[in-house]
Amino acid sequence: MDNDKKKKILIVNNNLDLGGVQRSLINLLKAVESDYDITLFLFSNTGEYKDRIPKKIKVIEAKAPLNLLGISQQESKSKGLTMYLLRALLSVYAKVFNNHLPIGFLVSTHPSLKSYDFAVSFLHNMEGHMLYGGCNDFVLRRVKAKNKVTFLHCDFSRCGANTKYTRKMMNSFNKIAAVSEGCKESFLEAMPSLKNRTKCVYNCHDFEEYRTKSEESPFIYDENYVNVLTVARLDAGKGILRGIKVFEKLLQEGFKTKWHIVGDGVLWKTVKDLISELKLDDSIALYGNQSNPYKYMKNADLLLLPSFHEAAPMVFMEAKSVGLPVLTTETISAREMIADGKEGYVCENSEMGIYEKIMFVLSNPLEIEKCKRYLKEQKYSNDMAVEQFHKLLN
């Protein structure tokens, strides 16, 4: 089909740094690049996934100063002293008051984009005091399109997004795409009047890449232990600190297990210090960010996500597709994404709940093998996610 007969779609995101939203975006573009005339608008065309943009996708990078919303304060040094100082000033304002005015100002500086059938904000707004987000603002204020869509990659009612300002913004979109039924339900708790506008569109995955990379120099674990893996940012919401307390108790009780943590974040030093303080350095290993986390999944026994809250973690499907069972706390999409007792386990969202479920798995080693056999029999695909996206644009 010729481009002039295809729907013209503009998709807006902040950057292509390592992250679940960015990974989901690249996977979606790969899956639908031939079906639409797609332009990708990035605040900053930077990040590890930059080179993975499909060739058929046109890319526009924001002009200064809007591109400050796609980079960190450190990265803004490359934009010159004026941009560095501007970003610092706006960040201070956001910390003292909120990010509404700084984001609104940066968005207002950019020329409008016109003549699209659909304009899609792929990154939901984060309320609070960080100079972050702005995709919703840009689509609503600076894009001329017949239809405007926003994606929800969060637990809207519980992650701090449910504010008067954000609700007003969400009400301005023609459609809202939640990445799981759980995310959809959480949003509709806050905004039941938007039920008819809110659809579910699952994350897309590159299953072939997961399997291929899991075979590239897979990490070798000590087989005398049950090796538990976590791949996550080290921040407060991921529950890593309570996970350390759980492992301390398990080790004190004589269970032969080791915890391997892939990821980085604001709590790196806090996590490292707690591990040392509890003398767990031989049992809990930190690997930092890894370009290929899948090589750690290949030979692990269990993926653990001890989060306080989650939306629809990409890592669930990544692990399942390479045959690694998942143990997750009960979050809004956990039971939707993990078949309990088959693909892994869903436990009570508490330190005791995590402890009891890991203890159950460690005490019943055949459970892990049962789940691994089940996972090997499954065939995961993007068919449903792509169909949902097509319906969203009809």
Model confidence at 222: pLDDT above 60: yes
Share of the chain above pLDDT 90, in %: 94
pLDDT in tens, 229-253: 999 999 999 999 999 999 999 999 9
pLDDT, tens digit, for every residue of 85-102?
999 999 999 999 999 999
Q: What percent of the chain has pLDDT over 70?
A: 99
Strand-pair partners of 262? 231, 288
What contacts 115, CB < 8 A, 6 or more positions away?
8, 144
CB neighbours of residue 394 within 10 Å: 6
Find tokens 């019943």 and name the residue.
364
C-alpha to C-alpha distance for 91 and 79, rounded to whole angstroms: 16
Mean predicted confidence (pLDDT) in 187-203: 97
**Confidence band, pLDDT 50/70/90 cuts, at residue 260:** very high
Q: Which of 109, 127, 253, 236 is nearest to 190 (CA)?
A: 127
Is a pLDDT exceeding 80 seen at residue 187? Answer: yes
Domains of the chain: 3-204 (3.40.50), 207-377 (3.40.50.2000)
99-139 pLDDT per residue, tens: 999 999 999 999 999 999 999 999 988 767 889 999 999 99
Residue 213: the pLDDT is 97
* Amino acid making up residue 250: L
In the prediction, which pLDDT does 189 show?
A: 95
120 by DSSP, 3-state: which? strand
- Answer yes or no: are the C-beta atoms of 83 and 63 closer than 8 Å: no
Q: Report the predicted TM-score, pTM, of the whole model to 2 decimal places.
A: 0.93
Cα 247-248-250 angle, rounded to 5 deg: 60
- According to the model, what pLDDT value does residue 1 have? 45
8 A C-beta contact, residue 179 and residue 153: yes
Of the candidates 57, 52, 83, 54, which has an alpha carbon nearest to the alpha carbon of residue 70? 83
Please name which of 25, 70, 76, 65 lies closest in space to residue 47, comparing C-alpha atoms.
70
Instruction: Please indicate whether residue 176 or residue 127 has the higher confidence score (pLDDT).
Output: 176
pLDDT score at 4: 56
pLDDT for res 126? 73
**Confidence band of 160 (pLDDT split at 50, 70, 90):** confident
Asked if 70 contacts 46 with a C-beta cutoff of 8 angstroms, the reply is yes
**Model confidence over 294-343: pLDDT tens digits?**
999 999 999 999 999 999 999 999 999 999 999 999 999 999 999 999 99
Of 202, 207, 194, residue with least CA distance to 388? 202
Tell me what pLDDT residue 159 has.
Answer: 83
The angle subtended at Cα 83 by Cα 77 and Cα 87, nearest 5°, is 90
pLDDT bracket for residue 158 (50, 70, 90):
confident
Buried residues in 250-288 as b, exposed as e (16+ CB within 10 A): bbeeebebbbbbbbbbebbeebeebbeebebeebbebee
CA 320 to chain centre: 16
- Return the amino acid letter for 137: D
Read off the pLDDT of residues 40-64 as tens digits, 9 standing for 90 and up.
999 999 999 999 999 999 999 999 9
